[in-house]
Amino acid sequence: MRRVVKQKHCLTTLEDDLLGSFHRQFAENQNHHQKLLIQVVSSLAIVITGYAIVYSNISSESELFNVIIGKVSGQKVYSIIHLLLSYLAAQSILCLLGLININIGYGFRRDQNVNFKIRKSNLNSRYKDIFGDDHFDPRFKPLKEYLPNFNYIVYRVIITIQLLFLSSIILSFIAFENFSLFKDFGAAEAGMIIFLSIPILLHSFDFEKVHKKYIEKII
């Protein structure tokens, strides 16, 4: 009898240790995620600066391939290809940063769900008194709420920056004197807009894809 009681006590102690260990690991993970998210936000500033440098050094005089000295400004003017390549590089990095941000948010919800179950299993009826009905419950979040608030804000900021970059390059193409595209609107122009929009579409697709994963794994 004592042996059975001792075994049960050992199992209970082991379970408590495991639960406590995960609880501590959850807190450590969040600190790591916060640091990583700060790095993502810092990287946004670098991407914006890099694209802005190229964008601010183009003009309607820009040629397709050659860097020239502007007749009006007297300054070095980047080519259309420079602008296009810097745009694609910036959009690719933004897309990658967006994916990192989305997965950080999903990882938080995943760990939060386990932590939620641990708290409920240990607190039982006291859980509601301490945390309320739906506070700290990571389940059943709609599309706009499945990421934590800060991650969702970062997602919206990145999408906004991507759209601004898209608008800026289209307006530049329209203004270029040595570039015939966008003088009229046809199939070529529509194809170019779709091509330039691919990073934005990929970012939005990732957001939707991870939401489906959230529904499958967490809800």
Give the integer Cα–Cα distance in Å for 42 and 138.
28
Q: What is the pLDDT of residue 69?
A: 72
**Token pair 């501590």 is at which residue?**
24
Give the integer Cα–Cα distance in Å for 72 and 211.
51
Q: What is the pLDDT of residue 71?
A: 64
- On the question of pLDDT at 161 being above 90, the answer is yes
- On the question of pLDDT at 74 being above 80, the answer is no
- On the question of pLDDT at 92 being above 80, the answer is yes
pLDDT category at 4 given cuts 50, 70, 90 is very low
Spatial CB neighbours of 122, under 8 Å, sequence gap ≥ 6: 19
- On the question of pLDDT at 142 being above 80, the answer is yes
Q: Which domain holds residue 154?
A: 2-217
Average per-residue pLDDT in the chain?
A: 79
Using an 8 Å Cβ cutoff, are 170 and 182 in contact? yes
Average pLDDT over residues 57-72: 76
Average pLDDT over residues 9-35: 58
Least confident of 14-18, 87-91, 122-126, 179-183: 14-18
3-class DSSP state of 77 = strand
- On the question of pLDDT at 7 being above 50, the answer is no
- On the question of pLDDT at 91 being above 90, the answer is yes
**Measuring CA to CA, which residue among 174, 171, 193 is closest to residue 183?**
174
Average pLDDT over residues 28-53: 80
Give the integer Cα–Cα distance in Å for 131 and 137.
9
pTM: predicted TM-score of the whole model, two decimal places: 0.78
- On the question of pLDDT at 178 being above 90, the answer is no
Look up residue 199 and give its amino acid: P
Q: What is the pLDDT of residue 23?
A: 57
Q: How many domains does the chain have?
A: 1
For 86, the token pair is 């810097």
Look up residue 23 and give its amino acid: H
- On the question of pLDDT at 130 being above 80, the answer is no
Please write the tens of the pLDDT for every residue from 145-158.
Answer: 888 888 999 999 99
